[in-house]
Structure 1
Amino acid sequence: MTVPYTEILVVGGLLLLPILYESSHVFRYHLKFFVYYFIVMFNSVLLIPVFCLRAKNVKNLILASYFCRWITALIGIRWILRGSDNLHEERACIIVSNHQSSLDILGMFNIWPTMGKCTVVAKRELFFAWPFGLAAWLAGLIFIPRVQKDEAKVIMNKAAEKIKSDKTKLFIFPEGTRRNTGQIHPFKKGAFHLAISAQLPILPVTFSRYYFLDKETKRFDSGVVIVNALDAIDTKGMTFGNLDDLMENVRDKMSASFRDSTKEVLDMVHHNNLCSQKNL
């Protein structure tokens, strides 16, 4: 009885995977992102019929988080949440966070049960990345056009009215573009303009640096991320004349949190490496 060549190739490929994973950081980088995106897309297909039963309900995102948060164990990331009481409080607010990678979404999946009712502002192009885009729309994500600023303002103002009446949190990445460069980059004004206009508090959240990830060298190792939810900053009584000061205040607080949490993580990793070496 002859064994089909396809079966030999499949078995050989499976046996080769662990070797490539351990020996090639480029292969490991692409495999981890493939696993991440594939599972998210697969879960989107599973959840779309469920989301249709309560379309545009942001609580669908909490359900999605339970389906997706376990991906972190597969790709070797551990998330540590600090300041959970600030996130858990049921209130309407604008959450602003630094933006380093698409892994930020995975980090959000891990803290969504704590955030409770929360939705996200995303660029409209993401809607067309089906099935994820359709599932996200059904889960209540707010898609805005990047170029058409007038339309974006109308969408955001309507969103502010709804989150205020429903006591929902609105998650925004004010840097706009994701950059893993070890610093908090200048903010765009949209989130802060909205917070002042609707008189909603700003709740800063920082993700410590993804030291384990490097897009240029295609490196994606295991790692730890500290997610720090800071105290909310009240905007009651503020006018647009306070906009620049508010942005500077928030960015200063987030930069300090980002710097401190990144140092803590790196010290933690260094300590663990020393302990591992002593045990050898």
Structure 2
Amino acid sequence: MSYQPIENYGVIGDLCTVALVGMNGSIDFMCLPEFDSPSVFAALLDHRRGGRFQLAPLLDGARQRQLYLPGTCVLLTRFLATTGIAEVSDFMPVEDAEGEHNVVRRAKTVRGEVRFRMLCQPRVDYARESPAAEHTPDGVRFVASGNHPIALHLRASVPLRIEAGAAVAEFTLRADESASFVLEQIRPGEDSPSAAPDYVADAFKRTVNFWRRWLGRSSYQGRWREMVNRSALTLKLLTSRPHGSIVASPTFGLPEEVGGQRNWDYRYTWIRDASFT
């Protein structure tokens, strides 16, 4: 895989961290559990070793579109081809319980019969460690025990296999059929809320309601309302719920210009910049 233009990424988040989702269906950047935590996926910076969470249809010549469900931070990536139409929806539930961080991904066929491929390849601690992968009754668990110990669990509605330390699935969906994947940070001895049979549907409703309730507090009725609302939602995504501060950017290591030297870590709050928002 090659690098995507930066404008090809949408953002989802849970007010503790964010994930960048490419128009090719790949989550190429995410830090857990906080904005300033070490990365879990960083193919945005190193497409060979950085790690990614890919979910996309195998449609030759598909055109791609990305949009948000109106009034929310639920991201939809659509793939349109003569042989079929597919959609991948992504969101991170804003959970009340401290320490719960989930990425929910759902693949759906809109028209035709479409084959999909999923690859979940975490590379933790800024890609310095490949966590050990092992099967569980309903998915794959990734455990890293180095400088940044973390455990992740990928729960899926389709069979998974392990290849070179990554979870892989290939499956076919007919029109209106869907498959779901939930990647969550787990802690030993704790029950996982995503194990509930209706978790994905319930989390989707809760996430949509959270963002629409928050946006409903806005009284703005002026010009470019849709763009103003989207800007407000994006700025809210960059705000830490536990601390109340807003990060300048959720990323690190990206140059101000290609080939430049100013490759700063912007996962900080600048008082000046935060005051503008």
Q: TM-score range by the shorter chain?
A: under 0.3
Is the strand fraction higher in 1 or 2? 2
Q: Which has the higher contact order (CA 8 A, sep 6+)?
A: 1
Is the helix fraction higher in 1 or 2? 1
